Structure 1
Amino acid sequence: MDATRNVPLEAWMQEHGFSSNTLADAVNQAIGDLTGKVGGLDGASVRDWKAGRVRWPKSATRAALEEVTGLDAAALGFVPRRRRSPIPAPPQEDPDMHRRTVITGVPVALAVAAAPAVAAPRRVGMSDVGRLQRRFAEIVARDHRHGGQLTIEQRAAALADEALALNSAGSATQRVRGQIYASAASFRSSAMWAAIDGRRFGDAQTHMREAQALAEMSGDQAIKFRIWSHVGTMYRHMNRPGDARAANDVARGRSITRRDPMFASLGLARQAAIHGAAGDRTATRIAFDQAQAAMNRATADAYRPVWMTAFYDQAELNSLALSAYLALLQWETAESHGYRCLAALRPHMRRSRGIATARLARAQLGQRDTEPAVATAMSIPLDAVRHPRVADMLSTFGVDLRRFAPTSPHTVAWTQYEREALP
């Protein structure tokens, strides 16, 4: 094997089903999201990476590639360029000066050696907290692009540990220590969410316990809400609606839901999705009406944490409604919410778009609209169909399609597509 080939990149592409052309397309789109201008890479560019002809792509390309893969450029086998430092010429010595330095320097050296080494104590401050918060924003962005990946879970857990290490790195005020614990809890809750999203529920529960303890030490109401709201979602996905409702009630009981209607809206919308999973039509409708009313009361200029502003809006409310009404087998209502969700989704919500599109296809199939259902399912981008939740939904979609319309030409087309394109 050629020693210059980028083996880690080739292995990642093979594991995730990317060709040179499809990876180039994904990176171009990520460049567009980051810079406002779509990139100009093609399959030949990626082949140059794999062959080792390009060892360190440009900064915008590296950032986009890291967004697509969820890995640092170095972990993908790229090698930073080394800068050559000029070697300074040795200084010309004055023999008399050298002799005086040797003679007079002996007592000074002895005095320095005898003096104890005292390191100045490090002061941990809000600048350190700011760096943690910027890294947390990067984790949130990766989650919305990819979702469910083990690499995101591991990265978030490692950053939680890094945040906690700051508390042992030096002195800090009580306020700063509280912010550090809140940052650690935020990272750990993101690790928990990545595990939930990837269907790794045992790992999610381990992260949950860590996150809850850190949140209590922080005293931060917003992160406590996030963690308990995630717990409710986890139990809903585990088909434990009673536990899901109880956990979500804890989230909704946080004081922040009384101060900010947007938090109240999210708690009610997730409660409605839990009612849908439990088969309670009346409670589902009432909770969604209340969630919409609370959202309508929320002011746009209120301060909210980045994890909240990055995802909760009208599109997410409709996404939760789509999920609930699918569970209730109310296909037409679910389809309506599906279209509204997709129309309002922000461009960076790639994982959410894949999930909503898969759910929309199921709502159409529930009405026996086979042709549009298959077309909708086939419209999901290939990078999104690899998401664990999307893959599960499309697998179920195929089973139901063959049961409802076993001889339909659309079923034949889907089965072939499933065999050739899906993981």
Structure 2
Amino acid sequence: MHRRTLVTGAVSTAIAAAAPCAASTRKIGMSDVGRLQQKFTAVIASDHKHGGQRDIEQRAATLADTALNLQNSGTATQRVRSSLYASAASFRSSAMWAAIDGRRFKDALIHMREAQALAELSGDQAIKFRIWSHAGTLYRHMGRPTDARAANDVARNLHITRRDPMFASLGMARQMAIQGVSHELRSLPRTFGQAREAMSRASTDAYRPVWLLAFWDEAELHSLALSAYLAAGDWPTAEYHAHQCLASLRPHMQRSRAIATSRLAHAQLAQGDTDAATHTAMAVNAEAATQHPRVSRMLQEFGAALRATAPGSRNARAWTEHTAAWRTPA
């Protein structure tokens, strides 16, 4: 009943926003949508730099409300109204992603339901894909692989994946990550190959939304492979994909670099290479290590594993001293 109320409320709010005020004479146009899209690009940039921060989540949620409120501020064509719903859904999906990245899963579920309702009103296949694909990631992080697979299948079955192989590629790669947590080790090479093949078929001049262009490439494909193999317990292959990812990450992907580096440290430690693992973990910048919830958690787990593997060792002492410096005021 609680879930139904949330979804119904989101739909009702969005529908109410669709009806323009009778007394209004302002014409809402695509230039208004364009200004919202510029703000969305700024949200995406902040996410890739910092990731998981509550202020990014709150800003995105506020901008979603701004897009909906614009519906009531004047008259507009159906195209403009659909675009405003798509913008609201985009912002809400970014709020959802920030909450996932910050491990605030209850908040992410609320954003997800509102985003799904708005995406349906927009009819925009790309934003529907983003939301359902993120839903798969949310359930995967919550330890619900069956729900993760079902949500990701919704994304993969949208017709946009048949029209544009780049979306198909991302859908397959996230399927690989789900297979990893399900310990389906034999499936991983085939799924990775399918994702890579789809990426190679994608046109370089097709129009794609900014959120996809900003992150989806060969480096992120290796990042998801790293996640999959690490979860499945194949440490050498995980390490291989970590190096491939880090070698090709674009400069603005600061959050992704911190996550991949932290995962690489885990893969090296699991193989018994405490020297390399400690050196790798220390390479994570202090801001990500202390401010990004997912990175912080991985490094805390790394420290616990290092102390269990090599208690009292030089590397364990070095790591303790290194992390103490993060807590020391400048």
Same fold (TM over 0.5): yes
What is the match of residue 278 of structure 1? 182
- Residue by residue over 1:120-166, the C-alpha shift from the partner in whole angstroms, topping out at 9 and shown as x without a partner, is 70000000010011000000000000000000000000000000011
Two-structure CA RMSD over aligned residues (Å): 1.3
Partner Cα distance (1:279, 1:223) in 2:
30
Q: Which residue of 2 aligns with 1:408?
A: 313
Instruction: Confirm whether residue 206 of structure 1 aligns to residue 110 of structure 2.
Output: yes
Alpha-carbon displacement from aligned partner over 1:217-265 (angstroms, at most 9, x marks no partner) = 0000000000000000000001110100000000001110000000000
Q: What is the distance in 2 between the residues matched to 1:334 and 1:417?
A: 25
TM-score normalised per structure 1 = 0.71
What secondary structure, in the 3-state scheme, does the structure 2 residue paired with 1:123 have?
Answer: coil
Render the CA deviation track for 1:367-395: whole Å, top value 9, x for unaligned: 11111110110011111112101000001
Instruction: Tell me, in whole angstroms, the C-alpha distance in 1 between the residues paired with 2:327 and 2:213.
Output: 33
Separation of aligned partners in 2, 1:157 and 1:397: 33
Unaligned runs of 5+ in 2: 1-21
1:308 maps to amino acid = L
For residue 419 of structure 1, the aligned residue among 301, 324, 328 is 324
Higher-RCO chain (CA-CA 8 Å, sequence separation at least 6): 2
- TM-score, length of structure 2 as denominator length: 0.91
State how 1:273-422 maps to structure 2 within 5 Å: 273-385=177-289, 386-421=291-326
Equivalent pair of 2:170/2:195 in contact (CA under 8 Å): yes
Amino acid at match of 1:328: A
Q: 1:252 to 1:171 in 2, by over 3 A?
A: same
1:23-422 mapped onto 2 (5 Å cutoff) = 121-385=25-289, 386-421=291-326
Q: Unpaired runs of 5+ in structure 1? A: 1-117
Deviations 1:289-313 (A, max 9, x none): 1101101111211110000000000
Matching residue of 1:48 = none
Quick check: which has more Rg, 1 or 2?
A: 1
- Name the residue aligned to 1:53: none
Tell me, in whole angstroms, the C-alpha distance in 2 between the residues paired with 1:134 and 1:231. 25
Percent identical among aligned pairs is 65
Q: Which has the higher helix share?
A: 2
Kindly tell me: are residues 376 and 167 of structure 1, through their superposed partners in 2, closer, same or farther at Cα, counting changes over 3 Å? same
Inter-partner Cα distance in structure 1 for 2:195 and 2:186 = 14
Q: What one-letter code is carried by the residue in structure 2 that aligns with 1:418?
A: T
Query: How far is the alpha carbon of 1:422 from its aligned partner?
Result: 5.5
Structure 1 residue 283 displacement after superposition: 1.9
2:49 and 2:135 map into 1 onto residues whose CA distance is 22
**Matches of 2:186 and 2:100 in 1, distance apart?**
28
| Distance in 2, Cα, partners of 1:407 & 1:203 | 40
Q: Which amino acid aligns with 1:241?
A: P
- In the alignment, the residues of structure 2 paired with residue 377 and residue 305 of structure 1 have an alpha-carbon distance, to the nearest angstrom, of 34
Corresponding residue pairs, total: 306
C-alpha contact (below 8 Å) 2:24/2:74 kept by paired residues:
no
